Structure 1
């Protein structure tokens, strides 16, 4: 299974949440011991703020709620705690040779910044935090370490932060490439399917021309007696009428299937996705649609769901998705694919992007239906598919 950008963000966030709990547990003995050298109450307050932020970070990453906010909050609080450390130490002598316990959470803070911030801001944070620690380390409040030792400690923290930054950035870029490749494959598949359908229709028309039209026209040309000519004329007229009907009807099928068939196919498609859609079906009983309409509604709905999976997610937020199918009278249907994701401005979609224009809009138009896209940046997207065109707003 391919890894999407949203999956990379989820895995990275959960890793920092779990690592935060593990590293925090390891620092508890040092934090309790060093609380005695801080100002009265400062040790308990500092532990409450830092450990509380780590617990909130773990809860957010595991529940996939407000991940970016939790990561950013911890990164900021950690930097503030590091900057305030010199003002909190009361007994400098007792700190001699000691390592401030905040040091052991440095990598957790830089990783949280990588998850929460754009790459350049995360890189700046990854550099600044070890430098601040190195300055604190050589001060009396930080144990008055030798400059070389402070540099080594800061460099070690810097290297770990850069490694994490590079790994997550590379995973993000790889996931973006996978998403783009998947979208391109879907576009190629759609084009191939359309070409295949056109080829089948061409073969059908060629067979009709060869087996019926040409035969009857040749029979008409060979007729010599008046009764033969009259019969051949009627046959030729019938053949030409059939050819006209084939040209008008195109590839459409007169066969009809129940709306329940479309619902079952859509549920099966949802089962193959790595995210769930809430399904709501209204008035499906007794509704029958042409096969072509069902195929168009199914393909367009699946493309809309794939678009939602690829583009709607925002790191730090849980995206809710819903598929709504509504029968309209006895021969109509409206399918809605909705999410509360990042949204977009449909006007800004490039013309060459086939996922919306060809796979959804043109497919529905060619089948005699209608596709309507309602979206706003930051407020989610709803794709409305209707067959026939007048089904939107129709009574169920």
Structure 2
């Protein structure tokens, strides 16, 4: 099983799909329930209106449920808007197609039975203010429709009917609006959490990098002083001192935005990042022809190193005590591939909770946000885990 970086609409999309299925089931229920009334009342309208209205109103509602199965949830919004508009259009066209005689039952025209359901469909497509406007218009419209087509002896006062219809539908439409709003708030909170975690991980990576440079420069300074004490002033000592001073200047200024690591520095950084987590792991470095020509931006090297470290950390924590780990680094002139594999217990990436940030943010998310980078995690229960981190020159 393969996983990629999770989007920040996961909670909203999940609620939206469930909501679309629920609303579509309501359309199917009302179609079956009202079928006798639809057939009975067909003689009161022009021949074209009843089949057209049934297909437009109920058909769009059923399509809403089908759209929830598609990968892109924008289809749910389109289907919801179509169902909402179809209901509104059916009201004035029904009045135009009305031929009489007046209805003598107390229920009125079949279309007036479910105005709130059409507004529920609108929740999937529109902002809350437009949804409530739709609900008021739909409830008012169908009650006026009823008032026109029913026999005066069975007609209720118009205003109370409109008020009751609006208040009744508000309960369900309001609940749907709040449910989607809750999903959006959750997604927003997760996005903020992911950003904070990514920033913390980047800060940690920079600290590790500075510590590594501190150690290298410390060695350079001590080596220069030792050479000066033993050899005195020589051309070789002068060159070594100049190199050490350049290192100190670079540390003070920090690597610039255009600074790039060469292939040997890249591998050294990855080896240090892996060693900080698991000193027993060794890197299997495989260089393609011309690999020495590879250079990478500092931030890209740090991102790959941090993702490698997090992959090893996850493996140590979750793979099991008997799992073995292997890290393969493939260096090409314009690309770098790091593979982390273990023989542990594995897992189903689809079952990882969204609040678990190691996989989503520190590994896959970090690589997928990197220009030229990509991350993938392949795993299955009982079959170990394989992490692929790739960077290619953009």
TM-score range normalised by the length of the shorter chain? 0.5 to 0.7
CA distance in 2, matches of 1:119, 1:150: 20
Contact 1:257 1:291 in 2 (8 A): no
Contact 1:289 1:331 in 2 (8 A): yes
Aligned to 1:18: 21
CA distance in 2, matches of 1:141, 1:285: 83
Task: Report the TM-score, using the length of structure 2 for normalisation.
Answer: 0.58
Q: CA shift at 1:111, angstroms?
A: 2.4
Q: CA shift at 1:30, angstroms?
A: 1.5
Aligned to 1:29: 33
Question: What do residues 165-196 of structure 1 show as CA deviations (whole Å, max 9, x unaligned)?
Answer: 22212321331232233123213321331233
Contact 1:21 1:54 in 2 (8 A): yes
Contact 2:23 2:121 in 1 (8 A): no
User: SS of 1:213's equivalent?
Assistant: helix
Contact 1:31 1:47 in 2 (8 A): no
Deviates more, 1:87-96 or 1:51-60: 87-96
Question: Does 1:232 find its partner at 2:210?
Answer: no
CA distance in 2, matches of 1:19, 1:302: 46
Q: 1:285 to 1:292 in 2, by over 3 A?
A: closer
Q: Which has the higher contact order (CA 8 A, sep 6+)?
A: 2
Contact 2:100 2:149 in 1 (8 A): no
Q: 1:285 to 1:51 in 2, by over 3 A?
A: farther
User: SS of 2:335's equivalent?
Assistant: strand
Q: Is there any run of 5+ residues in structure 1 with no aligned partner, and where?
A: 221-230, 262-283, 304-326, 336-358, 365-369, 372-384
Contact 2:84 2:119 in 1 (8 A): yes
The within-5 A match list for 1:262-273 is none
Q: In structure 2, which of residues 83, 90, 94 is the aligned counterpart of residue 81 of structure 1? A: 90
Q: Report the aligned-residue RMSD.
A: 4.3
Question: What do residues 311-362 of structure 1 show as CA deviations (whole Å, max 9, x unaligned)?
Answer: xxxxxxxxxxxxxxxx99x522399xxxxxxxxxxxxxxxxxxxxxxx99xx
Contact 2:108 2:149 in 1 (8 A): no
Aligned to 1:122: 131
Q: 1:178 to 1:24 in 2, by over 3 A?
A: same
CA distance in 2, matches of 1:17, 1:78: 16
The within-5 A match list for 1:209-248 is 209=221, 211-217=222-228, 219=229, 231-234=231-234, 236-237=237-238, 239-244=240-245, 246=247
Q: In structure 1, which of residues 194, 197, 214 is the aligned counterpart of residue 209 of structure 2? A: 197
- Length, aligned pairs only: 285
CA distance in 1, matches of 2:304, 2:264: 21
Deviates more, 1:16-25 or 1:244-253: 244-253
Q: CA shift at 1:293, angstroms?
A: 3.2
Task: Report the TM-score, using the length of structure 1 for normalisation.
Answer: 0.57
User: SS of 1:52's equivalent?
Assistant: helix
CA distance in 2, matches of 1:3, 1:82: 42
Q: In structure 2, which of residues 184, 188, 191 is the aligned counterpart of residue 172 of structure 1? A: 184
Q: CA shift at 1:79, angstroms?
A: 1.3
Aligned to 2:296: 293
User: SS of 1:98's equivalent?
Assistant: coil
Aligned to 1:61: 68
